[in-house]
Amino acid sequence: MDFVEDADAAPSTPAQPDAPAMPLQMAQPGETVELAAIRGGRRLKHRLAEMGLTPGATFRIISKGHPGPFIIQIMETRLVLGRGMIHHITVRQQ
């Protein structure tokens, strides 16, 4: 069987590994980003992993919450992140 690429399919655009990482709080509402790193302790990394936030995960910024909560959407789920958490997360733009 020959492999035939679907010409109408949108090309996948993963974040470039050499793309510069930025703090999550710099991402703008509507942007889709990839989690680059979590700079925190084991408990924070475990808590975020339980929510599906692991390095390589992609999600969309819903609200930066000035004032209000920082809201992201990962797959079909919206999550509210505390200010303390977002200061430990770096992301890459998609």
Over residues 52-71, the pLDDT tens digits come to 999 999 999 999 987 878 99
Q: What is the mean pLDDT of the chain?
A: 85
Helix/strand/coil percent split, the chain, to 5: 15, 30, 50
Model pTM score = 0.77
User: Three-state SS for 88?
Assistant: coil
Q: Alpha carbon 27 to chain centroid distance?
A: 10
Both tokens of 44, joined, read: 């924070």
Domain 29-93: CATH superfamily is Ferrous iron transport protein A (FeoA) (2.30.30.90)
**Domain regions of the chain by residue span:** 29-93
pLDDT tens digits for range 23-38: 999 999 999 999 999 9
